[in-house]
Amino acid sequence: MLKVGIIGCGGISNSHMHGYLEMKDRVEVIACCDIDEPKAQEYAERYGIAHYYNNCCDMLKAEKLDLVSVCTWNNAHAECSIAALNAGCNVICEKPMAMNAKEAVAMKEAADRSGKLLMLGFVRRHGNDAQSARRLVENGELGEIYYAQAKYLRRCGFPGGWFGDKSLSGGGPLIDLGVHVIDLMRYIMGCPKPVSVFGATFDKLGTRPGIKATDWVSETRIAKPVFNVEDMAVAMIRFDNGAVLNLETSFNLNLPNNEDGLKLYGSKAGLSVSAPFTLYTEYDGQLADIALRGENDFNFHRDFDREIKNFVDAVEGKAECIAPAEDGVELMRILDAVYESAKTGKSVDIVR
Ligand SMILES: NC(=O)c1ccc[n+]([C@@H]2O[C@H](COP(=O)([O-])OP(=O)(O)OC[C@H]3O[C@@H](n4cnc5c(N)ncnc54)[C@H](O)[C@@H]3O)[C@@H](O)[C@H]2O)c1
């Protein structure tokens, strides 16, 4: 039975818990911690977890853990993951991997030194849509992919709380939402290496004070909330195989509805990964749209359980880890370059 510890007992940690509870014949969550001690206590009582702590170092010292979920604010991902890896634990760390590429590299180095697994919480990789699209690409159904579009736009969706505080989040929708779809598209494309980025960020609508948020809201209240992050970001990301990914993401934007648009364009066919999952190609001298009618969907709860299962399976050598640390590092290099380009107004080369 593998012993599990949870670091950060907020919203997303419940999804990790659900995944572990689905595997209770193989894993047991025996400890949790949160800098908000009453929250850790309440969490431990709710889930019947034996021990709770108010910091991860005490937990890692007192408990013999095999697996650790890092579910803290973004500013603590590196510190907590490195502490857990140094304590000999395998780690699954929520997205984004870290605040920047420097921290991400330090995390990967800690994993390499420890010989333990560091997996990233790129839950979108575990969806049926991602897996079907990747299979189509691997089988050459799209030909050479030279362009892709990733949109994750909210009209009125600032989550509140710590998400607006750059010192805790590292940024706005780019690092919170963009990270999901940049990674997903890069994964489907076969993980080409990013080489340069042109980006822009905006803060024109801020938090939309006075308008009731229509989207998901953070459950954690912050003593002195601030909003010093971007509310919208765009980027062109060029990869080493010549392909380009165009990203658009927002917390707030004056558009008719939230938009989730994921499309790939290849020399043989295009593919809409967003529903309806469709190939755009030619047949018998005519344009042809091929709607693939299987379950090519993303389901947050199902795919979270799959993610946790993949983590446990990978640690036990029963499966390959679907979201390894090196992909988190590449993602952070892209995000750093978007913010840098937004600042300078120039294209930024990614140097390793
Ligand atoms: N995969 C997804 O789809 C998804 C969805 C939501 C959030 N997330 C990610 O999960 C992480 C947490 O987000 P959330 O919405 O659960 O936030 P949250 O505020 O609900 O929970 C985070 C918890 O971490 C605690 N914490 C902060 N620093 C800590 C530290 N050093 N040690 C221990 N505990 C600490 C906070 O007190 C809080 O209780 C973020 O990185 C976020 O990007 C991922």
pLDDT in tens, 127-147: 999 999 999 999 999 999 999
Distances, alpha carbon 44 to alpha carbons 51, 70, 275, 301, in Å: 7, 16, 39, 21
Ligand 1 atom nearest to CA at 159: 15
Q: Cα(141)–Cα(264) distance, rounded to whole angstroms?
A: 12
- Tell whether ligand 1 has an atom less than 6 A from the beta carbon of residue 171: no
Closest residue to atom 18 of ligand 1, CA basis: 10
Mean pLDDT of the chain: 96
Q: Cα(126)–Cα(304) distance, rounded to whole angstroms?
A: 8
Q: Cα(83)–Cα(94) distance, rounded to whole angstroms?
A: 15
Q: Which residues contact residue 76 at a Cβ distance below 8 angstroms, ignoring those fewer than 6 apart?
A: 7, 8, 70
Residue 116's nearest CA partner among 306, 327, 308, 311 is 311
| C-alpha radius of gyration, the chain, whole number | 20
Give the pLDDT score at 86: 98
- Tell whether ligand 1 has an atom less than 6 A from the beta carbon of residue 33: yes
pTM of the model: 0.97
Q: Cα(140)–Cα(134) distance, rounded to whole angstroms?
A: 10
Give the pLDDT score at 216: 65
Q: Which residues contact residue 194 at a Cβ distance below 8 angstroms, ignoring those fewer than 6 apart?
A: 186, 237, 238, 239, 240, 330, 333, 334, 337, 350
Identify the CATH homologous superfamily for domain 2-121: NAD(P)-binding Rossmann-like Domain (3.40.50.720)
Q: Mutation test of ligand 1: which of 34, 43, 222 has the most ligand atoms closer than 8 Å to its C-beta?
A: 34
- Tell whether ligand 1 has an atom less than 6 A from the beta carbon of residue 263: no
Ligand 1 atom nearest to CA at 304: 1
- Tell whether ligand 1 has an atom less than 6 A from the beta carbon of residue 175: no
pLDDT in tens, 203-260: 999 888 778 766 667 877 777 789 999 999 999 999 999 999 999 999 999 999 999 9
Closest residue to atom 39 of ligand 1, CA basis: 10
Residue 150's nearest CA partner among 173, 126, 121, 166 is 173
Ligand 1 atom nearest to CA at 75: 28
Domain 125-298+331-349 fold: Dihydrodipicolinate Reductase; domain 2 (3.30.360)
- Tell whether ligand 1 has an atom less than 6 A from the beta carbon of residue 218: yes
Ligand 1 atom nearest to CA at 39: 39
Q: Where are the domains of the chain?
A: 2-121, 125-298+331-349
Q: Are 150 and 246 in contact (CB under 8 A)?
A: yes
pLDDT in tens, 33-49: 999 999 999 999 999 99
Give the pLDDT score at 208: 85
Q: State whether the Cα torsion 181-152-133-127 is positive or negative.
A: positive
CA–CA–CA angle 142, 146, 147 (5° rounding): 100
What is the distance in A from the centroid of ligand 1 to the CA of 195? 30
Q: Mutation test of ligand 1: which of 17, 42, 73 has the most ligand atoms closer than 8 Å to its C-beta?
A: 73
Closest residue to atom 40 of ligand 1, CA basis: 73
Q: Are 227 and 164 in contact (CB under 8 A)?
A: yes
Which residues of the chain register pLDDT less than 50?
A: none
